[in-house]
Amino acid sequence: MKFNDICERLKVLLTEKRYIHSVNVANCAKEMAKLYGADEEKAYIAGMVHDCAKYFNKEKRDYYVDKYHIEMDDMEKRSGALAHSVIGAYVTKYIFEIDDEEILGAVRYHTTGNVNMSLMEKIIYLADVIEVGRDYPGVDELRELVYSGKLDEALLKSFDNTISLMIKKGNTIHPRSVAARNFIIEEMQKK
């Protein structure tokens, strides 16, 4: 699918607000790719498509899970917030026809993070939370870390923020988020 057609499809799949968020993530990801030496075009594309499955209802999620034989754990099956990134990777691959492991991984893990994240995965995860439209306590600290070359510190800070918020709200925490945090702490201790 041509990039312009993907954008047109996204305008249908997303709310206007979410589409603007996607453009913001794309621009932020491109900037970060330049700073950290990743592929700027891929970063932009991944940013644009990352939330493509955000507004799928349970029925539509089940349809795609069945159609593409998507494997998800019980928590992911129950939660649209978790499932949209996993299903989004399949929509990106099979509907947008983007068969690129870097982009697909970045879409897939943009909500929970993962152990041993690639540079592109880190970029999209962080661009999602620091794009220009985001406004929450601590976002400027994250931006400062990202733009001063401290990508892993920013990632850990963001994991901490998310996990703390989940605890505060009394929500469950996906094990992949905990594993991602443990992994990055151990990586940073090795350095």
Q: Smallest gap, in angstroms, from Cβ of residue 178 to Fe ion?
A: 19
Residue 51 within binding range of Fe ion, rule CB under 5 A: yes
The pair of three-digit structure tokens given for residue 77, joined into one six-digit string: 């099956």
As a whole number of angstroms, the distance between CA 130 and CA 47 comes to 12
**Interface region with Fe ion, contact rule CB under 5 A, candidates 27-35, 38-46, 127-135, 178-186:** 127-135
Which residue lies nearer to Fe ion by CB, 76 or 128? 128
Q: Which is nearer to Fe ion, 132 or 185 (CB)?
A: 132
Q: Which residue has the tokens 């794309």?
A: 26
Binding residue for Fe ion (CB under 5 A) from 76, 102, 121, 128? Answer: 128
Residues whose CB is less than 8 angstroms from the CB of residue 34 and which lie 6 or more positions away in sequence, other chains included? 40
Q: Does 121 bind Fe ion (CB under 5 A)?
A: no
Instruction: Give the binding range for Fe ion (CB under 5 A) out of 37-45, 49-57, 160-168, 171-179.
Output: 49-57
Q: Which residue in 101, 35, 126 sits closest to 134, CA to CA?
A: 126
Question: 44: closest CA among 25, 58, 70?
Answer: 25
Contacts of 186 (CB under 8 A, 6+ apart): none
Number of residues that bind Fe ion (CB under 5 A): 2
Q: What is the DSSP letter of 39?
A: -
**How far separated are the first and last CA of the chain, in Å rounded?**
42
Shortest separation between residue 55's beta carbon and Fe ion, angstroms:
11
Using CB under 5 A, which of the segments 60-68, 128-136, 150-158, 164-172 binds Fe ion?
128-136
- Applying CB under 5 A, the span of 69-77, 122-130, 147-155, 160-168 interacting with Fe ion comes to 122-130
Applying CB under 5 A, the residues found at the interface with Fe ion are 51, 128
